[in-house]
């Protein structure tokens, strides 16, 4: 008796189903408190420069304990500048304290285009500095703490000369004293009892 061959059709392929999109992760909850992490990052405008970092060692029974102090200059490069001093056991903490202090101590200064309106001398303690206006393209001819203050204030063309102590803190504060002593031409003319229209004839 002949054997019968039975052909069985292959099973139909199962339809391909795309995986369901994953649900977005829930936003972190802060218990109703809108803290720093719950906000978009904020862009900080301005210039911050670390002028000097000093290390101090205190000798104790178990050895030496080190602490740090930082001098920071902050400004908006548009006519406002300030300096701050901070001390801490870590460099980063000292810089943070100094930066916060410099932002609180900002003062407005008088500028004339990219330079200063007139020659001026500033002094603080043993530090004395002479600042002279310069033509466009001259740049900042000054160094150390004076250069940091001038750049943070937004001065682009000036000639500076340190005439006294080279102590960083005194030079920075002397430069700030010189910048805050600047006055526009109109104010100087009024102080002398002259009319503003006479300025061109002087």
- Per-residue pLDDT of 150-197, as tens digits, reads 999 999 999 999 999 999 999 999 999 999 999 888 888 888 887 766
At residue 170, what are phi and psi to the nearest 5 degrees? -70, -40
The verdict on 95 and 159 lying in the same domain is no
| Secondary structure of residue 28 in the 3-state scheme | coil
In a domain, 75, yes or no: yes
The verdict on 80 and 129 lying in the same domain is no
pLDDT band at 38 (very low <50, low <70, confident <90, very high): very low
The verdict on 115 and 98 lying in the same domain is no
Q: For residues 159 and 64, what is the distance between their CA atoms, to the nearest angstrom?
A: 43
Q: Which of 72, 87, 107 is the last residue of a domain?
A: 107
Q: Which of 72, 91, 107 is the last residue of a domain?
A: 107
| Secondary structure of residue 3 in the 3-state scheme | coil
The verdict on 118 and 175 lying in the same domain is yes
The verdict on 76 and 138 lying in the same domain is no
The verdict on 119 and 136 lying in the same domain is yes
Would you say the C-alpha torsion 21, 22, 25, 26 has a positive or negative sign? positive
Instruction: Read off the CATH number of the domain in which 89 is found.
Output: 3.30.160.20
Q: Mean pLDDT over all residues of the chain?
A: 81
* Domain coverage including residue 116: 109-187
In a domain, 91, yes or no: yes
Evaluate if pTM is beyond 0.75: no
Q: Which of 60, 86, 107 is the last residue of a domain?
A: 107
Instruction: Read off the CATH number of the domain in which 152 is found.
Output: 3.30.230.10
């Amino acid at each position: 008796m002949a054997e019968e061959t039975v052909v069985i059709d292959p099973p139909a392929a199962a339809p391909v189903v795309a995986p369901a999109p994953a649900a977005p992760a829930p936003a972190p909850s802060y218990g109703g408190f809108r803290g720093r992490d719950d906000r978009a990052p904020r862009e900080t405008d301005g210039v911050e420069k670390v002028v000097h970092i000093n290390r101090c060692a205190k000798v104790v029974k178990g050895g030496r304990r080190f602490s740090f102090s930082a001098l920071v200059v902050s400004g908006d490069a548009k006519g406002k500048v300030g300096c701050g001093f901070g001390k801490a056991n870590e460099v980063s903490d000292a810089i943070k304290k100094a930066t916060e202090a410099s932002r609180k101590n900002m003062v407005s200064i008088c500028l004339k285009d990219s330079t200063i309106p007139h020659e001026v001398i500033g002094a603080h303690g043993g530090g004395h500095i002479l600042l002279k206006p310069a033509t466009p393209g001259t740049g900042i001819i000054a160094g150390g703490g004076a250069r940091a203050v001038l750049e943070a204030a937004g001065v682009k063309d000036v000639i500076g000369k340190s005439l006294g102590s080279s102590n960083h803190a005194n030079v920075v504060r002397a430069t700030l004293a010189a910048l805050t002593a600047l006055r526009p031409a109109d104010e100087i003319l009024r102080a002398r009892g002259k009319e503003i229209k006479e300025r061109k004839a002087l």
